[in-house]
C-alpha cells in the first residue's frame, strides 16, 4: 500500500510517498481502507518537533510514528475475531492519534474503540474533517469552558478547523456567539451562525469595552491581561491552540491568574473520545453542525497540504484523499 513516511524530524520536505506493507489487524482491531484523512496543526507540530519538548514523548532524534495523520474516514475491510461493533463494509471515521497515528496512508489497523460509524449525511471527505478539530472544540466549550445557554461566548480564530466547529457548537449550546477572524473570512464565519463577527484587522476585541462569559482561543495571541479585561468577573478563558506563546503563557501564569469563584484561565489538552464522535454525529444529523472544508489534496501532495495549514490561511479543514 502507499503511505506518506517521515524518517526524521523536519519540514514537510522530509515526507516521502512510499510502498509499505499493508497492516494485518490484531484480534481487537479493525482494518480500514482509508478514503480520506485531514490535516491538523498537531501533524506539523509533531513533524517539526515544535515545541522541542515534543521529543521527550515522541523520540529524541526520530519521530516514533513513521506515518502521521490523525483523522480518518473509510470502510472496514477486515475485522479481528474479538471485534463486536463493526463488520466488513461499514463506513467509519475517527481520530486515531491515540492509537499510533497513520492516517496518511491507504490502510490502517486500529482498535475498534477509536472508531465510530459515519453519518450518512457526510461523505468521506466531510467525515475526515471531523475528528480531532470537532472534538477539541466540543471539549473546549462543554468540558473546560462549561458553556451555558444564554452566555456570551467569543471564539478567537473562528475561521480555522477548531474555530469553525466551535462557532457552530456554541450556537447549538444556546450561546450568543462572537467570532473573530480576518477580513476575507468574515462572510464564511457569519454563514456558520455567529451572532457577531469581528475583523481583527479592524478592531481589537480586548479594547472595545465588551466582556464575555467564555473566550475560546483557537488561534491568535493577545497578552493574558488583555484577555482578562475582556472577561466577565466569573468568565473563563480556554486555549485550544494557536501560537506557542499563547499556550505557554497560560501554562505558566494561568493558575496564578485564576481565582476561586472568579475568572479562570486554562489550556485544553483534548483527548480522542469516541463517545464525543457519536455525540457530534447526532448534531450533524440534526443539521446543527457541518464540517467546513477549504480544499482537498491527493495523497502524494500531503506535504503541500501541511505547508498550507502551517501557513495559517485555511478556512476550515484541509483534506487529503486517497483517490486523488
Question: Got the DSSP string for 271-304?
Answer: ---HHHHHHHHHHHHTTS----EEEEEEGGGHHH
pTM for this prediction: 0.94
Cα–Cα distance, 165 to 161 (Å, whole number):
7
Cα–Cα distance, 264 to 144 (Å, whole number):
10
pLDDT at position 166 is 98
**Distance from CA of residue 24 to its chain's centroid?**
28
Q: Dig out the grid coordinates for 119 from the structure.
A: 453519518
Low-confidence ranges of the chain (pLDDT < 70): 53, 56, 324
pLDDT at position 137 is 98
Domain positions in the chain are: 2-130+291-321, 133-267
**Distance from CA of residue 125 to its chain's centroid?**
15
Torsion of CA 249, 252, 256, 260, to 10 degrees: 80
Cα–Cα distance, 277 to 136 (Å, whole number):
11
**Distance from CA of residue 104 to its chain's centroid?**
16
In the DSSP assignment, the letter for residue 105 is B
pLDDT at position 56 is 67
Looking up cell 499510533 gives 100
Cα–Cα distance, 133 to 318 (Å, whole number):
11
Cα–Cα distance, 291 to 133 (Å, whole number):
10
CB distance 238 to 104 below 8 Å? no
Cα–Cα distance, 73 to 93 (Å, whole number):
4
The stretches of the chain forming alpha helices (DSSP H) are 41-48, 54-58, 124-128, 131-138, 161-172, 186-191, 224-229, 244-257, 274-285, 302-310
CB distance 179 to 198 below 8 Å? yes
What superfamily in CATH does domain 2-130+291-321 come from? Medium-chain alcohol dehydrogenases, catalytic domain (3.90.180.10)
User: For helices 274-285 and 131-138, what crossing angle results, to 10°?
Assistant: 90
User: For helices 41-48 and 302-310, what crossing angle results, to 10°?
Assistant: 100
Q: Which CATH class is domain 133-267?
A: alpha beta
CB distance 224 to 257 below 8 Å? yes
Cα–Cα distance, 51 to 249 (Å, whole number):
14
In the DSSP assignment, the letter for residue 140 is I
Question: Angle 67-5-108 (CA atoms, 0-180°, nearest 5)?
Answer: 40
* CA nearest neighbour of 42 among 56, 57, 54: 54
SS3 49: coil
pLDDT digits (tens, 9 = 90+) for 159-212: 999 999 999 999 999 999 999 999 999 999 999 999 999 999 999 999 999 999
Q: Dig out the grid coordinates for 269 from the structure.
A: 489538552
pLDDT at position 155 is 98
Q: Dig out the grid coordinates for 286 from the structure.
A: 440534526
Amino acid at each position: 500500500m502507499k503511505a506518506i513516511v517521515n524518517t526524521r524530524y523536519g519540514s514537510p520536505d522530509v515526507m516521502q510517498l512510499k510502498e509499505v506493507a499493508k497492516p494485518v489487524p490484531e484480534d481487537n482491531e479493525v482494518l480500514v481502507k482509508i478514503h480520506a484523512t485531514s490535516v491538523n496543526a498537531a501533524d506539523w507540530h509533531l513533524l517539526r518537533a515544535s515545541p522541542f519538548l515534543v521529543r521527550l514523548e515522541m523520540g529524541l532524534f526520530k519521530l516514533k510514528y513513521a506515518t502521521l495523520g490523525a483523522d480518518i474516514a473509510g470502510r472496514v475491510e477486515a475485522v479481528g475475531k474479538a471485534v463486536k461493533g463493526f463488520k466488513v463494509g461499514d463506513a467509519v471515521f475517527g481520530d486515531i492519534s491515540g492509537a499510533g497515528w497513520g492516517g496518511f496512508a491507504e490502510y490502517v489497523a486500529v482498535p475498534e474503540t477509536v472508531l465510530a460509524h459515519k453519518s450518512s449525511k457526510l461523505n468521506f471527505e466531510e467525515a475526515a474533517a471531523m475528528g480531532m478539530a470537532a472534538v477539541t472544540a466540543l471539549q473546549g466549550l462543554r468540558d473546560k469552558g462549561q458553556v451555558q445557554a444564554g452566555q456570551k461566548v467569543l471564539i478567537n480564530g473562528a475561521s480555522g478547523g477548531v474555530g469553525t466547529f466551535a462557532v457552530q457548537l456554541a450556537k447549538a449550546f444556546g450561546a450568543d456567539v462572537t467570532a473573530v477572524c480576518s477580513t476575507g473570512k468574515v462572510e464564511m464565519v457569519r454563514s456558520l451562525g455567529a451572532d457577531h463577527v469581528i475583523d481583527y484587522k479592524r478592531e481589537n476585541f480586548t479594547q472595545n469595552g465588551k466582556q464575555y462569559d467564555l473566550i475560546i482561543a483557537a488561534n491568535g495571541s493577545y497578552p493574558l491581561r488583555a484577555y482578562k479585561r475582556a472577561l466577565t468577573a466569573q468568565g473563563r478563558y480556554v486555549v485550544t491552540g494557536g501560537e506557542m506563546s499563547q499556550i505557554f503563557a497560560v501554562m505558566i501564569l494561568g493558575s496564578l491568574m485564576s481565582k476561586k469563584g472568579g475568572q479562570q484561565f486554562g489550556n485544553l489538552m483534548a483527548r480522542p473520545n469516541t463517545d464525543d464522535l457519536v455525540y457530534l454525529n447526532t448534531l450533524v444529523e440534526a443539521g446543527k453542525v457541518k464540517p467546513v472544508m477549504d480544499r482537498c489534496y491527493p495523497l502524494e501532495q500531503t506535504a503541500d497540504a501541511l505547508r498550507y495549514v502551517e501557513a495559517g490561511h485555511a478556512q476550515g479543514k484541509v483534506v487529503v484523499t486517497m483517490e486523488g
